[in-house]
Structure formats: structure tokens, C-alpha cells
Structure 1
Amino acid sequence: MPDGGAREVLAAVAEEFAEFTAPAGPAAVDGPLGWAGYDDARVRALRRSGESESVVCGVGRVGGVSAVLVAFDFRFLGGSVGTATGDRIEYAFRRARETRTPLVSLIATGGSRMQEGMLSLRQLQRIARQSVLLREAGVAQVSVLRDPTTGGLWASLGAGADVVLAVEGAQVGFAGRRVRPPAVTDDPAYTAEGQFAAGHVDEVCALESLGEVVAEWLRLLTSGTPDPAEVPRALGSVELPTDGWAAVTGARAASRPRAEAYLDDYFDLRREIRGDRAGGVDAGMLCGVGLRGRHAVAFAAQTGTATTPAGFRTASRLVRLAERLGLAVLTLVDTPGAANDAVAERAGVGPAIAELFGVVGGARVPVTTLVIGEGGSGGALALAAPERTWIAPDAYFSVIAPELSAAILKRTLEDVPALSDQLRLRPQDLLELGVVRGIAAR
């Protein structure tokens, strides 16, 4: 389905829409720079698109949720941003902030408007400031990258949102097609799918399903509660291990329920965010927001693999998002430990863990943790709430994996089972030591 412009995408996303009264545009002949022919170009753009500017702003309802909507029309001078465009977007952000209404931007643009020079480029600063003010006010912001989304609007309005969605096959990149090096003009990096793979986009969807996806995200982002998340029920064995090594082998069993099973059991609806926004993605760290009953809960869940720096940074991003929007947080711990290879060291695994420790420890929203499998050292503890951590009966939590403990203490592999007992890593040991608040029940 082709993208038919601002009004068409608004109709596809919103059940109703009321446009804001547009601020007056530039009165100068041929714009603020006196660019010869600029007035004529705007007249042709109006005839082509039916719009008086490249953006249409107003308030509507999306899936029953009221939202301020900012929709670009690429048919108007390539969806480019001039001073009048900036006026409209700034007004939309101000209305969203004053009314505490989430803002959704439906972007299709080639970037800054050449006929307005540096005055056009400076609109990016205006938009970025409005985005920060909306974030500080605790109001959700979702961006949708249509085809194309290039230039400064991708690097401000698009990438600056809490959740970034993209339409399948859309061209997305800071460098537009005409300004890229010829050798990489058609590189997949400049696509919605390429940006998703790199962790810069949270979700890619078909244009036909855009309304449903945006509606679900708005419902999730606006349904927070100050109450802590409930502790998930245990899904695996409820028998407590007889010794430390039994606890370790039980947690490592292939048949043990993993994070996906716990999330499916816990939530009625959930959607995921992706990536650390620095080019890193860890498939072993699932982060997002889910609906449990009437309330939304943010989640970060390890899936049993060694967590990479990108995984820790994505979890930090998730907790910060939850803080801004007043969402309780649920974390599921299941990792043999942090990735410890040279790649992880170069990518900053230490600073990434330190960041997550700080974000979780200082969170202004309640964080609830359940250890569902392996709890290996600092890579596990970084995701655990200091005061609200529980453990499943078929899980363990340890200062380090028993095998690595043996290596540190210069013991042999034959000593590992005995060391497992000495480490007191069983659920009942951890409860007695005061490390966890309780053992989850079925």
C-alpha cells in the first residue's frame, strides 16, 4: 500500500482528528532568504498535496487514546522543514505538554529546506528542545518513520522519541539518497530493516497494520501505575534442590522454562523495544512494555545467555523510559554471567554494567525481580532490584559460577560440586541469608 500523504496516514492511524489552527507563515517575498522562485514552488506544492505546509498537526484518537499527531506530507517540497514547519511542530509539542497528551509523529521527509538555509537547519534545535521538555514532563512520544525519513528530522524528531517505529521498506538514514557516497547509495543500512538490525528502530511494521501497532503502544505507554509489579508465578519445578550442585544443574536444564514462557504467562499483551541506540543489539536481553490486567509494566528479561554490553545498555534505556512514564518495572534474571570476551571488553562491558547498577539502584519507580534460572555474578546482579528480588525454586544466584570459583581458588573440576554447597547458592540458602525476599510459588 503506497503512502498517500499526511491526510491518508492520519486516516489510517486515527479514528478521529481535529487539526490545529496553523500559525501564520512567512510574510517575506520568496521566504526569509529571498530565494527566487520559492513562492512559486510553494504554490505548486500546495496544488500537488492540498496542503499549505509540509506538516499537518492536530489532536485525534488512536485506539481510544487521545494523542497529538504530527503528520508529514512528502508531496509538499519533499516533506522538508522550514520555519513555518518548525512553528507548527513546536505548537504541537507545547499542546501535548500542556494537556499531558502523548505525541505521535508520522514522518516522511527529505530533511531541511534549502530555500531557507540555516534558518531551516535551526528548526532541528527547536524540535529537539521541545522533545526534551516533553520527556521531562513525563509525556510519551512515539515516532513513525515512513518512506523516506532522512536528514535532520530522523536525527531529531524521529530518533529522539521514546519508541521508534518504521514502515516496512522505508528509506531511513541521516544521509539522503542524493548526498550519500555513490558506492553505498543502495546499502541496506539506509532502510527501516537495516536500522532495526542495528538497534536504532524498535519495531518494523506494514503500513496496513500501522494503526493497530501505534494504538497498542499508546495504550501501553499511558497505563502506568505507581504500584510495584507482582512477582510472577514459578513455571518450572517447585521442588527445592537438595544440594548446591543440584541447584546449578537444575537451572541449566534445557527443559527449564525461559524468559519467553514467563513473559507470555505474565502479560496479556506486550511489545518490545530494541537496541542500545549506539549500534548494539543483544538478542538475549528482551526489553519492552506489557499489559497485565489494566496496568502496564516495563520489563527487562535475560534469556539464559551471557549478557553483552548492548544488552545492559538496552536494559538501562528501558528503566529510564519506565521512570519517565511512571511504569513499574519487572526484571527476570537468567544469565551465566556477563560476556567476558575481548569484544565485550572493547565494547565497554564494565561501564555498561556500572550504568545498569546505577539506573536500577536509583530508580524512582518500583523494580521487582525474579531470578528464573542462572544468576551468575555481577552480570545477573546488575538487573536485580536491591530490595525486591525473589527466586524461582529451580534457579540459583551466586557470586560466580562454581566452575569459575574453582579456577579462582585453584581447585580442580572434581571440587565443583562441593564448592556449589559452600557458595550457598540454593534458593533456600539465599532466603536464609537475606539475599532474596522469597521463593516464588506456582
Structure 2
Amino acid sequence: MPERLSARALIGTLATGFADFDTGSTDYSEVDGPIGWPGYGDAHEAAAKRTGESESVVCGRGRIGDTDAVLIAFEFGFLGGSMGGRTGDRVEAAFVRARESRLPLVFLIATGGSRMQEGMRALSQLQRVARQIALTRAAGLPQIAVLRDPATGGGWATLGAGADITLALSGAQVGFAGSRVRPPGDAHAYTAESQYDSGHIDAVIIPEDLPATLSAWLHLLAGPPAAEVPVPPSLGRQTLPETGWEAVQHARAAQRPRAQSYLDHYFESRQDISGDLCGGRDPGVLCGFGTRNGETIAYAAQAGTPTLPSGFRTAARLVSLADRLGIPILTIVDTLGAANDATAERAGAGPAIAELFLAVAGASVPITSLVIGEGGSGGALAFAAPGRTWMTPDSYFSVTSPEAAASILKRDPSEVPETANRLRLRPQDVVELGVAQGIAPPVEDSP
């Protein structure tokens, strides 16, 4: 379990020049709260004396790295960081100030959930918070959550899971059900590490890395976006294939550069998002944001494996988030095709592919796509931007793989190479067909 710093101590490690927002009156005339819970007023007063805070959340403005931001930090020492009516007042006011000042928001979450002593008024604060998250999304401002210990109940299910990027401190308890109400069983399911493995959060980090990681994310999401996405240069073979089967063999060559190499070459620095937020992660899809010439570009890249439904959903999440923040996107195509086994079908392969097709089709920011290896069927095409797709010399793009085409057409396996030739899948063929716009320049000729 990570060390639990007070809200102000944590803010002190992250931000400079932090200043609280005016919280208005601290006259708590409702001694025992809205439902007359015996002793609530005394407990509230004792919490204030113990922590030096007048409520369970600290809100203000500070500078993290090179970015000004609004911070909402929960004080767990104040009634377990629980959310009541006045907590909701402060959180809502902080969101309003962030939108007025056009500043990103950072949520430092350590809460047990809603405050029992205020009954349904406490629980209804989640609706207020959700409304503020939605308004801030519509305003195009980044929201980053940091899950501390514990991050449970409505704090996790609104500010935590509803943020654009969700980070968690290693060892933190993270889950909708707190430790006192969950059924006995798998305790690991309620940890930051398990939530990451399940695709619900983007990264688990140690406390020492939080200042630099948070600074990097704010710089990416709130910094200047690129106006366009230059076509990445081809890092591999520079001669075009003579036949379709040769194109397939070049794309399948073990020594061909993969997505990781292209991303490392293209970006000066980058941060990954991870997971589809609904139970899945695909290590064969790399998504995130990076800097190129000091400007931010988002990326969604296939890493050469059959793409899982969670991979398509993660890419769709990336495209939608980048579009909302006004950040252009690079996509990299490299897959034999979508995973098509029974597990993938049960996980929603078709709906997931459709989700990405629709996200790309509906995006208003520039999207540039590069096919760097195999471009197999709709699982590859979903990552490609219409009218903005380029090929490398060691790639191909096809309606399906040559093997699958031969099977569909009831051809003998020995006819696979000839089938590849007939499919017109070579890079130059795809350009001639108008599906791609050109061949990526070699690295030495790129801007």
C-alpha cells in the first residue's frame, strides 16, 4: 500500500504556486447534516481540527511542470475523503473555474465514496460531478485522474474512470466496492495492477515518478497541437516488389521494421494509453500521444498481430479523445487481420471494428495513415484514413490474406502465390487503385 500523503503534501510535490479557490462561507449551520444524523456535526468539526481542512477536498490552481492546471485533491483524513453536499459544491466550482480559464484539470483521488451521514444528498453529488465532466469534455479541456489509496465508490466511478487519462499509484486499492462492503474472494481484483490488466486504467506508476509523468501528460494534452501529420518515412526496404507474392513475403519478413521502430523514429517523446475501459487490453495495438517538433500528435498503431476487439476499441477511444482535444492523429497499419476466433466473436469483434470505422469517419482533425507491413482485410482498413493513406515498399493492402482468398475461392494451397499476384495488393497497385495516395519516401528524403 503506497504512503498516504495529505492532499496538501501531495500537491506540494506536484505543483508550484498553488493557490486555493475561494470556498465561501465555512459556517456549518446544519449541525447534524440534512438527514439529522446524530453526531455528524461533531465528527465534521473533529475532522476539520485533525486535518486543518474545512472539507474533504482541496481545490485550486497551480503549475505542474510547464502547464497551469486546476487541481481537485481529496483529503482522505477528512471523513475518509467522502463526498457530501459541500464537497460537491467545491468540485463543481473548480470545474467552472477551469472552463472559464481554459485550463486542464487534475484529479488526485483518495476517497471511500459518498458520505453516509448525508444520505441521498451525498450520493446525488455524483450526478453533479458527471455533469461537470461532460461539460468539460464538450469544452475540449483535458482531464487527468490520479488514483491514490483508496479510490473507491463514486470517486472512482466518476472522476477516476470518467477522466480522459487515468493513472494509478502502485499498490493502491481501486474498485467500485470498498473493502468493507465487497464480497469475500479475489482481493487482487480491487487493486491498481488488476485494473490496469483489465484495461480500465492507463498506467500504474510509483509515487516517485508521478511528478514527471503528470507533467509529461499535461504538456502533451494541453500543449500546442500540430497543424498536420507529416507522412512518416519508410524505414525498411526501399525497392518496390515485382509480384504480389513478393510483396507478401516482404511484409512478413522478420527483419522488417515494426510499429515500435516507427513510433520511436517519428516522436521525440510519447506517453501511451492502455485499454478499452471495458475489460480489455490488446498488447498488439499501441496508442497514445507524442511530441514531434514540440507539437502534439496522437497515434494508434497495429504492431503486427491479429487485432483483438479490445484493440479496436482502444484505438477508437484514442481517435475520439484526440478529436475532442483538437489533436491530429497518425495511424499505423500492420496486421494480418482482425482476430476471428470464437473468443474474439464473443468479445464483439464486429461492433468493435465498426466503432473504430465510425470514429475515424467522424473525426474532424487531420488523420494520416501509413501501411508498414501487412494490411489484411477490414481489420487493417479500420485503422486507415480515407484519402490520407500511404504505403511503404515492404507492405501490402488486400481485401483479405492470399491464403484466405484461396480458401474462399476453393483453390489449392499451392495456388496461394498466384492468388496474391491476382489480388493486386502490391504498394504500387494500391496507389493505382486510388486506395492509397502514394509511397512513403525513404528516411533520408523525408522532411
Band the TM-score falls in, shorter-chain normalisation: over 0.9
Aligned partners of 2:226, 2:138: CA distance in 1, in Å?
18
Q: Which whole-Å deviations, capped at 9, do the CAs of 1:275-313 have from their partners, x for residues lacking one? A: 111101111011111111121011000000000111101
* Residue 401 of structure 2 corresponds to residue 390 of structure 1: no
TM-score under structure 1 length normalisation:
0.98
Tell me if the contact between 2:226 and 2:296 (Cα under 8 Å) persists in the aligned partners: no
Aligned partners of 2:31, 2:11: CA distance in 1, in Å?
32
Q: Using the TM superposition, give the Cα deviation of residue 49 of structure 1 relative to its aligned residue in structure 2, in angstroms.
A: 1.3
Q: Using the TM superposition, give the Cα deviation of residue 398 of structure 1 relative to its aligned residue in structure 2, in angstroms.
A: 0.5
- From 58, 63, 66, give the equivalent of 2:65: 63
2:228 counterpart residue number: 228
Tell me if the contact between 1:224 and 1:297 (Cα under 8 Å) persists in the aligned partners: no
1:271 counterpart residue number: 271
1:295 counterpart residue number: 295
Q: Using the TM superposition, give the Cα deviation of residue 226 of structure 1 relative to its aligned residue in structure 2, in angstroms.
A: 6.0
One-letter amino acid of the counterpart of residue 22, structure 1: T
1:208 counterpart residue number: 208
Q: Report the identity percentage.
A: 60
Aligned partners of 2:83, 2:349: CA distance in 1, in Å?
39
Report the RMSD for the aligned CA atoms in angstroms.
1.0
Aligned partners of 1:333, 1:366: CA distance in 2, in Å?
17
Tell me if the contact between 1:308 and 1:339 (Cα under 8 Å) persists in the aligned partners: yes
Q: Using the TM superposition, give the Cα deviation of residue 224 of structure 1 relative to its aligned residue in structure 2, in angstroms.
A: 4.4
Q: Using the TM superposition, give the Cα deviation of residue 60 of structure 1 relative to its aligned residue in structure 2, in angstroms.
A: 0.5
Query: What SS is found at the alignment partner of 2:185?
Result: helix
One-letter amino acid of the counterpart of residue 25, structure 2: A
Aligned partners of 1:172, 1:224: CA distance in 2, in Å?
33
Tell which deviates more after alignment, 126-135 or 15-24. Answer: 15-24
- From 167, 176, 181, give the equivalent of 1:174: 176
Tell me if the contact between 1:154 and 1:174 (Cα under 8 Å) persists in the aligned partners: yes
Aligned partners of 2:71, 2:185: CA distance in 1, in Å?
37
1:407 counterpart residue number: 407
One-letter amino acid of the counterpart of residue 2, structure 1: E
Tell me if the contact between 2:338 and 2:380 (Cα under 8 Å) persists in the aligned partners: yes
Q: Which whole-Å deviations, capped at 9, do the CAs of 1:66-109 have from their partners, x for residues lacking one? A: 10000111011000001010000000001111111000000000
Tell me if the contact between 1:106 and 1:144 (Cα under 8 Å) persists in the aligned partners: yes
Q: Using the TM superposition, give the Cα deviation of residue 333 of structure 1 relative to its aligned residue in structure 2, in angstroms.
A: 0.2
Tell me if the contact between 1:226 and 1:366 (Cα under 8 Å) persists in the aligned partners: no
- Structure 1: gaps (5+ residues): none
Q: Using the TM superposition, give the Cα deviation of residue 3 of structure 1 relative to its aligned residue in structure 2, in angstroms.
A: 2.2
- Structure 2: gaps (5+ residues): 443-447
1:318 counterpart residue number: 318
Aligned partners of 1:269, 1:414: CA distance in 2, in Å?
46
Aligned partners of 1:238, 1:424: CA distance in 2, in Å?
19
1:76 counterpart residue number: 78
Aligned partners of 2:295, 2:117: CA distance in 1, in Å?
48
* Residue 192 of structure 2 corresponds to residue 192 of structure 1: yes
TM-score under structure 2 length normalisation:
0.97
1:142 counterpart residue number: 144
Q: Which whole-Å deviations, capped at 9, do the CAs of 1:404-434 have from their partners, x for residues lacking one? A: 1000111111111111111111111111121
1:85 counterpart residue number: 87
Query: What SS is found at the alignment partner of 2:180?
Result: helix
Aligned partners of 1:159, 1:235: CA distance in 2, in Å?
38
Aligned partners of 1:111, 1:362: CA distance in 2, in Å?
36
Please give the residue correspondences for 1:334-345 in structure 2 after superposition, counting only pairs within 5 Å.
334-345=334-345
Query: What SS is found at the alignment partner of 1:175?
Result: coil
- From 145, 151, 154, give the equivalent of 1:152: 154
Note closer, same or farther for the CA distance 1:180–1:10 as it changes in structure 2 (3 Å cut).
same
Q: Using the TM superposition, give the Cα deviation of residue 2 of structure 1 relative to its aligned residue in structure 2, in angstroms.
A: 1.8
Aligned partners of 1:347, 1:183: CA distance in 2, in Å?
25
Aligned partners of 1:359, 1:27: CA distance in 2, in Å?
50
* Residue 5 of structure 2 corresponds to residue 23 of structure 1: no
- From 114, 117, 132, give the equivalent of 1:115: 117
Note closer, same or farther for the CA distance 1:325–1:254 as it changes in structure 2 (3 Å cut).
same
| Misfit runs of 4+, over 6 Å | none
Aligned partners of 2:285, 2:264: CA distance in 1, in Å?
15
Tell me if the contact between 1:198 and 1:275 (Cα under 8 Å) persists in the aligned partners: yes
Aligned partners of 1:215, 1:200: CA distance in 2, in Å?
22
Query: What SS is found at the alignment partner of 1:406?
Result: helix
Tell me if the contact between 1:224 and 1:326 (Cα under 8 Å) persists in the aligned partners: no
2:445 counterpart residue number: none
Aligned partners of 1:24, 1:263: CA distance in 2, in Å?
52
